[in-house]
Copies of this chain bind each other. A is one copy, B any other.
């Protein structure tokens, strides 16, 4: 039987298995979810077994386990290493979800749940594609699976694992579905990713919370100071003011920018989707450029003083912010983190003390459209979707891509099936049923073309 027939016949089961997967709240950023992370690893191991994988192992790491499995059918065939992450972002604020984040619900052709698109849905479709190839005897490459449980919190365990398992993880290409497409009518392949530097800032004024009536006006308020420091991070043109921040930024040629300008984009639709009167960003660049080829800085969280119900007249001792920057090729995240820390100390007034704590970082990456992997992926999308996909640079970061290149010497191919409207990292995250099934159909085609092109 053909792969497509097999997929059709097993559609309902493929979907129900995904829903079971989504029900486990595998949040990696908050330690209290640890038991669920471990349960998820067991779930995956069992599913890989049923799908026909071999050498299945739940590999311990300093933090959360990595689920490994493989099927080596012929040493002469190319080997594909499939990577994905089974952990998810925190789901809060819970009250903004239409249906609970860990009770997958289907509405208008999409399944709503935390991790539906990032990355459980996009990851699980690889296991189902694998099952389909095995059951229809059409496996065209050797396959290795490596699924981690802490991508949303730095992938430390993965780096450790890859370092010591270079032999076992040897492959010709690493396949990742953790990105999006322009639309279901116009598939796209991510050829660029931004890097990241993420820091937490603690501003301390007086040694204790004070009564704002008795001390207000005579003692500097840490919230006010933090606000003024954040304001100093950008200028009136939305350029980041951190000294030397732009020094190593790879500027695109006029040709490359002209090429990008062809990507379909409507400011009206973009604004309407977000209920915005206007977009805003670095002067001299388009919305698409601002969100892909340019480095950015965002305050991801801020808190201080009394944030409960009602009014409390406190002049707080401390104020905090989580600040991240997205980096483009040639920017080094360790260096940027240092620049940010130095600048924050430099602009901190005498009235406070400032502590900067680095969180995880990520290196930017770019993929060549000339590569065999890109060609195979492009043909696979074209066959499955009936449209030639376009290459795009994504604003997001997949920290592990450059790490794989360094430790395993292999390039990564990013075949994403998500959409911007999936609202990943937000309440009401979703993944299209169409996209899930289309992914299961597209992946085997990639293996077929990748094997052919490698001959």
> What is the interface of chain A, defined by CB distance below 8 A to chain B?
29-31, 89-90, 92-93, 96, 152-154, 180, 194, 196, 198, 200, 205-221, 223-224, 226-228, 230-231, 233-234, 238, 274-282, 287-288, 290-291, 294-316, 319-322, 324, 326, 349-351, 359-360, 394-397, 420, 423-428
Enumerate chain B residues within 8 angstroms of A423, measured Cβ to Cβ: 208
| Docked-complex contact A322 and B305, CB < 8 angstroms | yes
Measured in the bound complex, the distance between the Cα atoms of B153 and A306 in whole Å is: 14
Tell me which of A208, A226, A311 has the highest count of chain B C-beta atoms within 10 A of its own C-beta: A311
The chain B residue sitting closest to A420, CB to CB, is B214
Enumerate chain B residues within 8 angstroms of A360, measured Cβ to Cβ: 311
| Docked-complex contact B312 and A218, CB < 8 angstroms | no
Least CB distance, A29 to chain B, in whole angstroms: 4
| Docked-complex contact B300 and A315, CB < 8 angstroms | yes
User: Are A299 and B359 also in contact (CB < 8 A) when A213-B397, A291-B214, A397-B213 are?
Assistant: no
| Docked-complex contact B326 and A216, CB < 8 angstroms | yes
Enumerate chain B residues within 8 angstroms of A230, measured Cβ to Cβ: 223-224, 227-228
- Could you list 28 examples of A-B contacts with CB < 8 Å? A153-B311, A196-B313, A206-B275, A210-B425, A211-B426, A213-B394, A213-B396, A214-B291, A214-B396, A215-B274, A216-B297, A216-B298, A216-B326, A217-B282, A217-B291, A217-B296, A217-B298, A218-B279, A218-B395, A221-B298, A223-B299, A223-B301, A224-B299, A277-B351, A280-B350, A280-B351, A301-B314, A303-B307
| Docked-complex contact B218 and A290, CB < 8 angstroms | yes
The chain B residue sitting closest to A275, CB to CB, is B207
Given A206-B274, A217-B298, A301-B307, 8 more contacts at CB 8 Å? Answer: A207-B274, A208-B274, A208-B427, A212-B425, A213-B326, A226-B227, A231-B231, A302-B303
| Docked-complex contact B395 and A216, CB < 8 angstroms | yes
| Docked-complex contact B299 and A301, CB < 8 angstroms | no
| Docked-complex contact A309 and B275, CB < 8 angstroms | no
Measured in the bound complex, the distance between the Cα atoms of B319 and A230 in whole Å is: 14
| Docked-complex contact A311 and B210, CB < 8 angstroms | no
| Docked-complex contact B194 and A213, CB < 8 angstroms | yes
User: Are A215 and B314 also in contact (CB < 8 A) when A223-B230, A299-B305 are?
Assistant: no
User: Are A395 and B215 also in contact (CB < 8 A) when A274-B206, A299-B305 are?
Assistant: yes
| Docked-complex contact B425 and A312, CB < 8 angstroms | yes
Measured in the bound complex, the distance between the Cα atoms of B304 and A397 in whole Å is: 23
| Docked-complex contact B351 and A212, CB < 8 angstroms | no
| Docked-complex contact A307 and B320, CB < 8 angstroms | yes
Measured in the bound complex, the distance between the Cα atoms of B34 and A309 in whole Å is: 14
Measured in the bound complex, the distance between the Cα atoms of B300 and A291 in whole Å is: 34
Least CB distance, A215 to chain B, in whole angstroms: 6
Enumerate chain B residues within 8 angstroms of A298, measured Cβ to Cβ: 212, 216-217, 221, 224, 313, 315
A304: contacting residue among B89, B277, B301, B326, CB under 8 A: B301
Enumerate chain B residues within 8 angstroms of A223, measured Cβ to Cβ: 230, 299-302, 321
| Docked-complex contact B351 and A278, CB < 8 angstroms | yes
Least CB distance, A307 to chain B, in whole angstroms: 4
Enumerate chain B residues within 8 angstroms of A207, measured Cβ to Cβ: 274-276
Measured in the bound complex, the distance between the Cα atoms of B209 and A93 in whole Å is: 9
Q: Closest 8 interchain pairs by CB?
A: A217-B296, A213-B396, A29-B310, A301-B305, A227-B230, A207-B275, A206-B274, A311-B359
Enumerate chain B residues within 8 angstroms of A426, measured Cβ to Cβ: 208-211, 314
Measured in the bound complex, the distance between the Cα atoms of B317 and A427 in whole Å is: 11
Enumerate chain B residues within 8 angstroms of A200, measured Cβ to Cβ: 311
Enumerate chain B residues within 8 angstroms of A420, measured Cβ to Cβ: 214
| Docked-complex contact B211 and A425, CB < 8 angstroms | yes
| Docked-complex contact A92 and B29, CB < 8 angstroms | no
A231: contacting residue among B215, B228, B299, B425, CB under 8 A: B228
Enumerate chain B residues within 8 angstroms of A294, measured Cβ to Cβ: 217
The chain B residue sitting closest to A325, CB to CB, is B216
Least CB distance, A294 to chain B, in whole angstroms: 6
The chain B residue sitting closest to A287, CB to CB, is B218
Enumerate chain B residues within 8 angstroms of A227, measured Cβ to Cβ: 226-228, 230-231, 299, 302
Enumerate chain B residues within 8 angstroms of A305, measured Cβ to Cβ: 299-302, 322
